[in-house]
Amino acid sequence: MDTGALGGRGGGAQRIVRPMKRAAPTRAPAPAGSPDGPTTLAARVRAATGLSWQKARTLIERGKADVDGVVIRDPAARVGDEAEVALHLERPRPSAGVLSPSRILYADRDVVVVDKPAGVMTVPFDAGDRDTLDALTRAALRRMAPPGERYDPEVGAVQRLDKPTTGVLVFARTVAAKKHLSAQLREHSVERVYLAIAHGACQTATHDTLLLADRGDGLRGSYGHFRRPKGPAPKDARRAVTHVEALAPLADASLVVCRLETGRQHQIRIHLSEAGNPLVGEAVYIRRFPGRRIEAPRPMLHARVLGFVHPRTEAPMRFVSELPEDFAATLRRLGGEGVELPA
């Protein structure tokens, strides 16, 4: 690659224009509903380098791009004009299929508890999906086995986190463990505490709605929220309950604690958005938000605490995941440094 196209400084980090000029050719289309929304990381790299879309995406996926000092591997991540984007062309490509041992918080013959990084799917969605968290966890368990011992560990999903969401989750390693953990989830006895940074002044409240796979515009949402309800809710509507506690006010945003009774897909993102407080970094459930959008490399949602009863020993288990750097950096930027977090 011709690094001169970056206005480079030699073999180190190559700084892209900050802030990016607002001339139309250098900006990706704004998100729906926003006349001046943040562009994608791929668009920022492409505008500054002149590379093709494919080459810009490849650089990002190989871990060559930072946003405000944090490695972002999602080309579609939304990046505001004021964010500093840097390319590190000499940085080694991250090894595929490797999960750091520090991400394994606990493992025995029944369960394995993992601290999920951002940008990783929990399980495959399509047949060709690779480097999903379940596969990375299996590989990590194989590497952690005693010398000379070869086996293919079982890892079964009982809960999922969205691809951009970070934090703690548990996999079952036996059929009996999976049934036991699934029963705890159905009984709402699993402790699940999330931290979120949301737009605006959030209120402490409980959101109890019926979620639909399509609220009427192709997005998930609560029955009767997007459109006036007509008759009873459809049979496929699923009850979703989120308890939201306002933890600390931030600059045009709030740090909130979300406790789940149910675990529907995108539940927290939907409930906060419908309350008028979409997640900072949200790119989907933010179409109707009228306020200033705060940029972040991903939706700011982190699974902080997970507590459950061990499926074999019946011992209570509880795990806490520390804030990832991109979440902590966004929190500091919005004036939340020093806030006491739930433990």
Cα 295 to Cα 46, 111, 129, 260: the distances in Å are 19, 37, 28, 26
Is 162 an annotated catalytic residue? yes
Mean pLDDT computed over every residue of the chain: 85
- pLDDT confidence of residue 95: 54
pLDDT at 91 > cutoff 90: no
Six token digits for residue 304: 């902080």
- pLDDT confidence of residue 18: 37
At 181, the pLDDT band (50, 70, 90 cuts) reads very high
At 48, the pLDDT band (50, 70, 90 cuts) reads confident
Cα 92 to Cα 59, 60, 64, 96, 322: the distances in Å are 11, 12, 8, 12, 26
- pLDDT confidence of residue 37: 54
pLDDT at 259 > cutoff 80: yes
List 316's β-bridge partners, or say none. 309
- pLDDT confidence of residue 16: 41
Cα 23 to Cα 97, 200, 293: the distances in Å are 40, 29, 20
At 6, the pLDDT band (50, 70, 90 cuts) reads very low
Distance CA 94, CA 88 (A): 13
Which among 81, 162, 208, 252 is annotated as catalytic?
162
Mean pLDDT of the 100-104 span: 93
Cα 232 to Cα 44, 105, 120, 221: the distances in Å are 47, 44, 38, 16
- Model pLDDT for residues 309-343, shown as the tens digit of each residue: 999 999 999 999 999 999 999 999 999 999 999 88
Q: DSSP 3-state assignment of 18?
A: coil
Q: Tell whether omega for the bond before 19 is within 30 degrees of 0, i.e. cis.
A: yes
Q: For the chain, state the CA radius of gyration.
A: 21
List 66's β-bridge partners, or say none. 71, 86
- pLDDT confidence of residue 13: 47
Show the domains of the chain with their CATH numbers: 3-88 (3.10.290.10)
